[in-house]
Chain A
Amino acid sequence: MIPSLATLAVGVLIGYLGQRSRFCTISGIRDFIMLKDSFRFKGLIGLIVGGFVGFTLFHLVGGDIPNFPLGMDIVSKGILIASVIGGLGLGFFSVFAEGCPFRQHVMAAEGKRSAWLYLLGFYAGIAYFNVVTIKWLDLLLKTTG
């Protein structure tokens, strides 16, 4: 119950801040590549810096931060291939969708109809993954070792 409430509280916080700041990692990378505009790209840098400071600090004061730093965590060739294909595709299609999944949730709450439709496809996609795509992933992991 407590972890669920903690995620709810953090969700409210980042939802509020994300709406006010137009935070979006995909748009940040896109603007930086396309227009050399670093305004939203700084959000991704901030996330990494804030995360690093937080993990380091809480690790030092005895918080539950296991296996920090993770280091070399490429356990198989299959995981690496899945990560590269998944990353390339996520970046590519998120540009055409005009935002990362977080931004789409924020835009849906603002009343943008295309974000509602995106989320319809998104949740259908999760269900499809559980039924179909996961079998392809298993096959990839078995064949590549």
Chain B
Amino acid sequence: MKLNLGSWRVFAVGAVMGLAAAAIQAYFKVQPEANGVSFIGHPAYLLDWVTNKLGTAWPVLQYVPLTVIGVLLGSLVAASRNKELRAQAGPVRQKFAAVIFGFLVANLGLLLGSCDMRTGLLVAYGSVLAVIALASIAAGVFLAVIYSRFRARKEVVIK
């Protein structure tokens, strides 16, 4: 049986993610608050745990978050089952730019203290700081859209 949710499919996926994050915090001791899903914190703690085995003393949690490994496995299975698994260029054309964007997002995300998804979860947790942070993320996206439009218009004028 296939459930057809139309344009609400992504909403349903988001809701399942939110519920799952709440459930593992409530019953599997995944702390601190609203940390069930995080794509800045969990990768950082996993990397810190690995590098600490090599001699660093970077901050770690009481458990090793394996969310990143799970997501890679889950999406690999999904892509493979639906014949979408193949080596391809990806959305960012300039290779060096992709590396720089990753580097900057990691640093700015750690400065913020959470990724966009955990910020959403913290909003659900009732955090006032997270509301401001989410508004800042939206403002950053808005500025990027304005900058892209400005650059595109400039290129048209030059041509």
Chain A residues closer than 8 Å to B86, beta-carbon distance? 111
Chain B residues closer than 8 Å to A139, beta-carbon distance? none
Query: A4-27 toward B: CB 8 Å interface, digit per residue (1/0)?
Result: 111111111111111111110110
Structural contact, A106 and B75, CB atoms closer than 8 A: yes
Query: B41-67 toward A: CB 8 Å interface, digit per residue (1/0)?
Result: 011100110010000101000111111
A122 nearest CB across to chain B (Å): 4
A24 nearest CB across to chain B (Å): 9
What size tier do the contact residues of chain B reach? 35 or more
Chain A residues closer than 8 Å to B79, beta-carbon distance? 19, 109-111
Asked whether A90 and B140 contact (CB < 8 A) given A6-B28, A70-B33, A96-B97, the answer is: yes
Residue of B nearest to A17 (CB): B13
Chain B residues closer than 8 Å to A66, beta-carbon distance? 31, 33
Interface SS majority for chain B: helix
User: How many residue pairs at the A-B interface have CB separations less than 8 Å?
Assistant: 482
Chain A residues closer than 8 Å to B145, beta-carbon distance? 30, 33-34, 95
CA distance A61 to B115 in the complex (A): 28
Asked whether A6 and B24 contact (CB < 8 A) given A90-B116, A101-B105, the answer is: yes
Chain A residues closer than 8 Å to B82, beta-carbon distance? 20
CA distance A3 to B42 in the complex (A): 12
Structural contact, B26 and A65, CB atoms closer than 8 A: yes
Query: Which of A45, A82, A122 touches B111 (beta carbons < 8 Å)?
Result: A82
Query: Which of A11, A108, A137 touches B69 (beta carbons < 8 Å)?
Result: A11
Residue of A nearest to B24 (CB): A6
Chain B residues closer than 8 Å to A95, beta-carbon distance? 140-141, 144-145, 148
Structural contact, A3 and B148, CB atoms closer than 8 A: no
A134 nearest CB across to chain B (Å): 8
A-B contact pairs, 19 of them (CB 8 A): A8-B67, A10-B36, A33-B141, A42-B8, A43-B10, A47-B14, A48-B120, A58-B23, A64-B27, A69-B126, A83-B113, A87-B136, A88-B139, A115-B98, A118-B98, A123-B106, A124-B99, A124-B106, A126-B47
Interface residues of A (CB under 8 A from B): 1-23, 25-26, 28-30, 33-34, 38-40, 42-55, 57-59, 63-74, 79-80, 82-102, 104-130, 133-134, 137
